[in-house]
Amino acid sequence: MSRFPSPLALLIRVNALSSWRRLLALRHESRLLVGVIAAFLSGYLVLSFLLFDLGLRFIGRFPGLGSLLVERLLFLLFAFLFSLLLLSNLVIAYTNLFRNRETAFLLTAPVPVESVVRWKLIESSLLASWAFLFLIAPLLAAYGISNNVAWHFYPVTFVFVGIFLVIPGVAGAAAAVTLARHLDRKAFQLTALCAVVGFILLVAWRFRPEPVADEQLEARIQAVIDRLLVNTRFAQSPVLPSYWLSAAVQNWAEGALPVAGFFALVLLSNALLLSRLAALFLGRPFYSAASSVQSRSSVFAEWAWFRRLEERRRSMALLLRDSFLAESSPSEGSQPPQPLARWTPSDHLDRLLQMLRLPPDARAIIAKDIRVFWRDTTQWGQSVLLFGLLTVYIINLRHFTRQLDSQFWISLVSFLNLGACALNVATITTRFVFPQFSLEGRRVWLVGLAPLGLARAVRIKFWLATLTALVLTVSLTVLSGNLLRLEWPRIVFFAGATTLMTFTLNGIAVGLGVLYPNFRETNPSKIVSGFGGTFCLVLSFLYILTSVVVLGVGSPWGWRDNESHPGRAMAAWTVFVLFSALAGAVPLRMGLRKAATTEL
């Protein structure tokens, strides 16, 4: 046996030590902020446990069908989570294997590529799976309690889940290596985005709601359950790893230990086989893929038709620019275009911003931020995905309007829509607006030393983000109101609430982004996953929860009747406006003050 630790053991030790120190660094953060985040996370666990417990007991009481529905629900949930884990492992493994400085460092050290792949596979699986564990822990706890299981159910389930996570981890990494050999980063992101959109459309089509005729209303529950059981049968396909996990967990809970053991062994053998295959055979393809990733200018540029198209587009832009200059130059002596024009092709964005009559410094910041956002496929891809999901949901509301005939349900759905829309905005502001200031990074002096100053630059970013988000949120609110066939006063009510919430959420994200900057990091998702980003998300969620509850409790329209309650509504709106102003303006003002006094 070698007296030297293996490279894999060294890498695990070094990275575990780094993570531990990152955790210890929380001691230097404000206790209040750490407490708020800890309370939020614990609150989530407790609340989701209570909701799962309530839901499982409710479904379990269905006469004759309860246990069948619970069983199907678990199969379905694990099947969906398995698909999400596959996708998340694919994306994280790609970034971790091919866009990571540690990987490049290790490839020049005497570390076998197989060890590099093994370590990166472990790291990617952990990064991709912690949220999965966080999501299912309260569900499994609720399932165990509602089934009165023995104590050993919990540690055994934990082991089952741990084994299960290996499978999407290895499959995602293998898919990332295969794709990287053929696609560059942009093409990869586009493919991943198309795969997600395709998956959503498939799910939307498979589970599309069907209109229920009046004569069917009597037997509606039975029909819906029949339909549900038929449509969800795929989750019980015995080739799905999620099926093995669900079967192992459910059989253990029921005391059928030999059957549970069988499914656990199926899981274990597959996990071991896949890990062994990855350890033995993924090294060489990984090295080829890593070399390919560094060797490509663009996948599209490898196709002659694309190069010709680009060349034609460039020539056309220069031609337009030349003719524009020729037209705008004095007719006398009609001078030819300056040589400089050859290098500055026409730009629609600049022309559009000029039409808005904004000051040049504001134009420059806005144009830069829009270009950076547009050229980063991840940023607009995730935004499209989030708002796309919300749009699909809102458009599907039209199928339910027939069933939503009671005042209570109409109110509930419209307030839930407000919450969903605001949560979407919070996700977007935390993911994209919060890291904006940090992303100026080592170039922050460029903006900071310019005549406009950092504070004005931050203010411009706030307005740009808020106005862009407003276009989307108000449109979706009005659309959902129309589809729910709400009267105009209600639509205006919700549009007003959405507007104010959009301003506040952007204020929180911009303000905290300046208060908790990370100039070292260039990856926005890593900036967001730090302390400031987590705090921004927690604060945004707490703000949304409070606002929706306040507005719901003080709704101008009764929950059970259609009578108006102007006094209650006025009081609720006053609280909502004051709370929004406080929650948005305080971090924004603090951020602006810090930006104005930042030493570059």
Distance CA 469, CA 506 (A): 9
Q: Determine, following the binding rule CB under 8 A, whether residue 110 of this chain makes contact with other proteins.
A: yes
Give dist(CA 73, CA 229) in Å, integer: 10
Q: Of 187 and 575, which CB lies nearer to other proteins in the complex structure? A: 187
Interface region with other proteins, contact rule CB under 8 A, candidates 5-13, 49-57, 216-224, 529-537: 5-13
Q: Are 26 and 531 in contact (CB under 8 A)?
A: yes
- Interface with other proteins (CB under 8 A), residue from 288, 377, 475, 546: 288
Residues 6+ apart with CB under 8 A from 374: 380
- Measured from the CB of residue 104, what is the shortest distance to other proteins in angstroms? 6
Partners of 564 in the β-ladder: 557
Whichever of 111 and 404 has its CB closer to other proteins, that residue is 111
Token reading at 462: 């706030």
Which window, 99-107, 167-175, 384-392, 550-558, contacts other proteins (CB under 8 A)? Answer: 99-107
Helix extents (H) in 232-256:
241-254
Nearer to other proteins, 234 or 445 (CB): 445
Contact between 102 and other proteins (CB under 8 A)? yes
Q: Does 445 bind other proteins (CB under 8 A)?
A: no
Burial, 404: exposed, middle or buried (Cβ in 10 Å; 0-12, 13-18, 19+)?
Answer: middle
Q: Is residue 230 a contact residue for other proteins (CB under 8 A)?
A: no
Extended strands (E) in 50-202:
none
Q: Does 222 bind other proteins (CB under 8 A)?
A: no
CA dist 216 and 205 (Å) reads 22
Question: Interface with other proteins includes 101 (CB under 8 A)?
Answer: yes
Q: Of 273-281, 297-305, 433-441, 481-489, which part binds other proteins (CB under 8 A)?
A: 297-305
Residue 28 CB partners (closer than 8 Å, separation 6+): none
Decide: is 342 part of the binding site for other proteins (CB under 8 A).
Answer: no
Candidate ranges 15-23, 189-197, 315-323, 554-562; the one touching other proteins (CB under 8 A): 15-23
DSSP of 306-332: HHHHHHHHHHHHHHHHHHHHHHHS-ST
Read off the tokens for 363: 């134009």
For the CB of residue 277, give the shortest distance to other proteins in the complex, in Å.
22
- Compare residues 56 and 293 and give the one whose CB is closer to other proteins: 293
**Helices and strands (H and E) in the chain: how many:** 23, 0
Stretch that binds other proteins, among 14-22, 70-78, 199-207, 408-416 (CB under 8 A): 14-22
Contact in structure between 380 and 465 (CB atoms under 8 Å): no
Q: Is 308 in the site for other proteins (CB under 8 A)?
A: no
From 216, 231, 269, 291, residue interacting with other proteins (rule: CB under 8 A): 291
Binding mask 515-534 for other proteins (x = CB under 8 A): -----x--------------
DSSP code for 250: H
Rounded Cα gap, residues 522 and 510, in angstroms: 18
Of the CA atoms within 13 Å of residue 358, those in its CB half-sphere come to 18
Task: Pick the piece of the chain touching other proteins (CB under 8 A) from 3-11, 203-211, 257-265, 550-558.
Answer: 3-11
Q: Given the rule CB under 8 A, which residues bind other proteins?
A: 3-5, 7, 10, 14-15, 17-19, 21-22, 101-102, 104-105, 107-113, 287-288, 290-291, 294-298, 301-302, 307, 520
